[in-house]
Amino acid sequence: MAHDSHGRTIDYLRISVTDRCNLRCVYCMPPEGIEWKPMEGILSFEEIERFAAIAVENGIRKIRLTGGEPLVRKGLVGHVRRLRAITGLDSIALTTNAILLPKYAQQLRDAGLSRVNISLDSLDPDVYAEMTRGGRLQDALDGLDTALEVGFKPVKLNVVVVRSLEQDLASFAKLAIDRPIHVRFIEYMPVGDANAVGARGHQGCWTEADHVPSDEIIETLGTAMSAQGLGPIEAVHKGQGPEGWGPARYFTMPASVGTLGVISPLSRHFCGECNRLRLTADGRIRPCLFSDREFDVKTALREGTDREVNEVIAAALREKPETHEQRRGTVRGMSQIGG
Ligand code: SAM
Ligand code: SF4
């Protein structure tokens, strides 16, 4: 098992396979997009697979593929199959905006993908188009349906709550009543350029005023669901929630098949339980989402031995910060880091 210098076990690796995306979510990317890294600056699948195998030797047990939008990278299904074959890896998951799932869900399942998390921030077609700057809600819903049809279980839906966008949170909770969907409301986070154009009425990808603490999210949901005769919502005890529990707090509603959850990276940060490292698409290990400190492992992967790759992993573990304090944004946006 790998431990960082604060005694935490590190067994979870999030790998960004691309910085490119087919959407432009207001909290993630500026409207004009970002300057894509040229392909030679991006790790090849072979390089990622070598890194992953070495990381598993160091104690990594779970991998999540993310981006940018991982499904826009050609050849992802084969990549999943090869990662799955790494001895010692327990599970491999994917975070996606679901637009391309109708095309790839079955192939991904056949390749051994364990789980999918789908990011979907509004069930109102106009708000969805505004949040994603042009996305079509029906495409994402088709992706969600396909994920369920091919048998991914659980399917988790990630909803980032942004105050000024006034999302209808109860509409998501209703989705979980008769379908095996775990809806997780995520606090909007200070990641990305604070000077870029962000959500409705604000300048900045990160705006403090748009942050909604998870306790307020639960209260809003509870009130709305009870008013519609669908409440109350009740806390689920740890161990009874969906597989791959992670840092979420879960809730159920009477007779619901799915669950509700909240993830509170800011209002109740879970740094003490943090078990993750990130690998960016351009080959840097990022020990903490909120810290711009990164460790170049691309050079070691291209020119060095496994021992040199191990040394970079060891340095990243040593320097993983104990906690995060800042609320001012980061140099690189979520799509470049790998959310
Ligand atoms: N494109 C894929 C997707 O959207 O699921 C994977 C990459 S995306 C960067 C990963 C996750 O980060 C998404 O669930 C997205 O909503 C979330 N995210 C991006 N920027 C965020 C922010 N500033 N605060 C909170 N979550 C954010
Ligand atoms: Fe793309 Fe995901 Fe970022 Fe939206 S959140 S712009 S889908 S990478």
Predicted local distance difference test score (pLDDT) of residue 285: 97
Question: Which residue has a Cα nearest atom 5 of ligand 1?
Answer: 96
Question: Which residue has a Cα nearest atom 13 of ligand 1?
Answer: 119
- Rounded CA-CA distance 42/226 in Å is 49
How many A from CA of 339 to the centre of ligand 1?
A: 5
pLDDT digit string (tens) for the chain, length 339 residues = 788 888 899 999 999 999 999 999 888 887 777 777 788 899 999 999 999 999 999 999 999 999 999 999 999 999 999 999 999 999 999 999 999 999 999 999 999 999 999 999 999 999 999 999 999 999 999 999 999 999 998 899 999 999 988 999 999 988 998 899 999 999 988 787 666 666 666 555 667 888 899 999 999 999 998 888 888 888 887 666 665 556 788 888 887 889 999 988 787 777 888 899 999 999 999 998 888 899 999 999 999 999 999 999 999 999 888 887 665 678 777 788 877
Predicted local distance difference test score (pLDDT) of residue 28: 85
Best of 24, 27, 101, 337 to mutate for ligand 2, by most ligand atoms within 8 A of CB?
Answer: 24
How many A from CA of 334 to the centre of ligand 2?
A: 8
Query: What fold, for 2-337?
Result: TIM Barrel (3.20.20)
As a three-state string, the secondary structure of 271-295 is HHHCCEEEECCCCEEECCCCCCCCE
Peptide bond into 38 cis (omega under 30): no
Written as six digits, the tokens of 272 are 């003490």
Q: Which ligand is nearest to the CA of 264?
A: 1
Best of 29, 128, 162 to mutate for ligand 2, by most ligand atoms within 8 A of CB?
Answer: 29
Question: Which residue has a Cα nearest atom 23 of ligand 1?
Answer: 189
Which atom of ligand 2 lies closest to the CA of 28? 3
How many A from CA of 305 to the centre of ligand 2?
A: 34
How many A from CA of 133 to the centre of ligand 1?
A: 14
Which atom of ligand 2 lies closest to the CA of 132? 4
First vs last C-alpha separation in the chain:
24
240 contacts: CB under 8 Å, gap ≥ 6 = none
How many A from CA of 68 to the centre of ligand 2?
A: 6
Question: Which residue has a Cα nearest atom 8 of ligand 2?
Answer: 68
Pick the closest to residue 68 from 111, 112, 14 (CA basis): 14
Who lines ligand 2 at CB under 6 A? Answer: 21, 23-25, 28-29, 67-69, 97, 119, 334-335
